[in-house]
Amino acid sequence: MAGRERGRGPKRGAGGTWTTRPSGPRSFLLVCSFLITLGSFAVLPYMSVLLHQRLGLGLGTVGVVLAVASLVQFSGGVVGGALARRIGLRATMLVALAVRTAGFAAFVPGLGSPSAAIGALFLVSCGAALYLPANKAYLVEGATESERPRLLSASGSAFNAGIALGPPAAAPFVLTSPGALFAGVTALFAVVGLGHALLPAATVSTAVTAAPGASGPRKDKDPAAPAGSPGAGGPPFVVTVLSVYVFMFFQHYLALYAVPRTSASFYGGVLMGYACLLVVAQPLLSEWIAGLSYRRAMRVGFGAMAAGTAVIGAGGRAGIGVGAALICLGEIVLFLKNDLEALARSSAAPAVVFGRQRLAAGIGAFASGVIGGQLYGVAEDLGTAHGFWFAVSLQALVLPVLLVPLAGAVRRRYGGSRTRPEKHAAPDGGPRRT
């Protein structure tokens, strides 16, 4: 298995904790996580500019296209998880990269045709949907439960480093020579795909290896509380929907609020600082987050997002900067803890779990986009854009308290917390039961 090379098992670090030295395949995937987001975010943040200014699409049409593409990219993770269970993790990543490479290549001739450009964008979105569940599952396959936080946080840091560097690296070429830019991104994805073809195959497994020397119940679970109950923090799917729902208000609407009140350069600096903080803080906080109970992680995460949006609403450069830092803390805590809790509570293969988490994220992002646009419009009409952020802050405090226990009660009533064995791919490709 990729995660268990000979002679490279986990080592005990200071204070009795277990640390992970990534294997060769895992290290390669982490590097690719950076390169993939570097290439993707060299072009995707500028799609609205290309579709509107170069291809002449109306802003309303551009908004619909980007919203649907985002929904495909998130919700398609369920298909990615199912495909990984059928054909394997490496094969799924190869298919995903082939689709995404074809999408970026299609942009080169598609820059003169709106329909061709939209088709290329949806190919790219489909490839992204297929890739991420298999990528995360490959990283954690064969890892102990105590190793997972470091691996997933390292993956998140690699992705966010690419997100931070991609837009400024591509800015000089987006409008002057977009064809060359898309050709370069296509070549990058082709090389990354060839590298994936050299990875050792990994079976899709549900087994969770206990950390050496580990005993007793996990510290972040209440042994007396059934999975999905309010005492255990609530179903991770629902918490993920709410986490992304609240977070996407910040991502979608901060520019509208911050640029007129500060400057475009200040806003760009906030985004750069945000991404850098994610890259540095995620690995440093991973063990602390893993040790939190799910209920406490929710209180910290949603509390930080509520405080951050409220501070942004207070206005000024300092408020925007401090608010962004608080929301960054909320994202780090909630996004990592949701993935860890979803893995720990499910008997399904990790790729399937990550696919469901992507679906939850897609639902939250879509709802935030629809509701946020209406809410921000009302706030502007009333002449109080500050009130928009206070309304978001109130939602961050109230919605988890109201909806998470309700979802847990429904889950228990209809037997959703029960698990049963699922079929997964065996090393020889045939089905096996775990």
Q: In this predicted structure, what is the pLDDT of residue 380?
A: 81
What are the Cα distances from residue 423, in Å, to 3, 348, 349, 352? 22, 9, 9, 12
- Contact (CB, 8 A) for 372 and 252: yes
Task: Give the mean pLDDT of the chain.
Answer: 80
Residues 173 and 297 grouped into a single domain: no
pLDDT higher than 90, residue 289: yes
Least confident of 134-138, 247-251, 285-289, 405-409: 405-409
Residues 183 and 291 grouped into a single domain: no
Instruction: Place 322 in a pLDDT band, splitting at 50, 70 and 90.
Output: very high
Average pLDDT rounded to a whole number, residues 247-251: 88
Q: In this predicted structure, what is the pLDDT of residue 69?
A: 85
Q: pLDDT tens-digit profile of 109-124?
A: 878 888 898 999 999 9
Domain end among 149, 176, 208:
208
The fraction of the chain above a pLDDT of 70, given in percent, is 81
Residues 169 and 116 grouped into a single domain: yes
Residues 204 and 244 grouped into a single domain: no
Q: In this predicted structure, what is the pLDDT of residue 22?
A: 58
Instruction: Place 410 in a pLDDT band, splitting at 50, 70 and 90.
Output: low
Give 134-163 as a DSSP string: HHHHHHHTT-BTTTHHHHHHHHHHHHHHHH
Q: State how many domains the chain has.
A: 2
Helices (H), 111-235: 114-140, 148-170, 178-197
CATH number of 295's domain:
1.20.1250.20
Q: 343 or 173: which carries more pLDDT confidence? A: 343
What pTM value is reported for the model?
Answer: 0.71
Domain end among 208, 233, 258:
208
Q: pLDDT tens-digit profile of 122-132?
A: 999 999 989 98
Q: 230 or 329: which carries more pLDDT confidence? A: 329
Q: pLDDT tens-digit profile of 58-97?
A: 867 887 788 788 788 888 888 988 898 889 999 999 999 9
Residues 237 and 260 grouped into a single domain: yes
Q: In this predicted structure, what is the pLDDT of residue 97?
A: 95
DSSP 255: H
Give 28-45 as a DSSP string: HHHHHHHHHHHHHTTTGG
Query: Is 425 part of any domain?
Result: no
Residues 166 and 235 grouped into a single domain: no
List all residues 6 or more positions away from 90 whose beta carbon is below 8 Å from its beta carbon.
Answer: 134, 138, 196, 199, 200, 201, 202
Query: Is 45 part of any domain?
Result: yes
Query: Is 138 part of any domain?
Result: yes
pLDDT higher than 50, residue 248: yes
Residues 179 and 309 grouped into a single domain: no
Instruction: Place 185 in a pLDDT band, splitting at 50, 70 and 90.
Output: very high
* Joined tokens for residue 323: 């608010």
pLDDT higher than 70, residue 8: no
**CA-CA distance, 377 to 388, in Å (whole number)?**
9
Q: Which of 429, 422, 11 is nearest to 202 (CA)?
A: 429
Query: Is 213 part of any domain?
Result: no
Average pLDDT rounded to a whole number, residues 364-381: 82
Residues 198 and 245 grouped into a single domain: no
Query: Is 4 part of any domain?
Result: no
Q: In this predicted structure, what is the pLDDT of residue 206?
A: 43
Residues 27 and 76 grouped into a single domain: yes
Q: pLDDT tens-digit profile of 353-372?
A: 888 998 898 888 888 877 88
Average pLDDT rounded to a whole number, residues 20-43: 83
Query: In which domain, by residue range, is 133 found?
Result: 21-208
Domain end among 208, 233, 257:
208
Sign of CA dihedral 181, 185, 186, 187: positive
Query: Is 59 part of any domain?
Result: yes
Query: Is 185 part of any domain?
Result: yes
**CA-CA distance, 342 to 346, in Å (whole number)?**
6
List all residues 6 or more positions away from 371 whose beta carbon is below 8 Å from its beta carbon.
Answer: none
Query: Is 421 part of any domain?
Result: no
Residues 153 and 91 grouped into a single domain: yes
pLDDT higher than 60, residue 384: yes
Residues 194 and 279 grouped into a single domain: no
Average pLDDT rounded to a whole number, residues 300-312: 96
Residues 200 and 336 grouped into a single domain: no
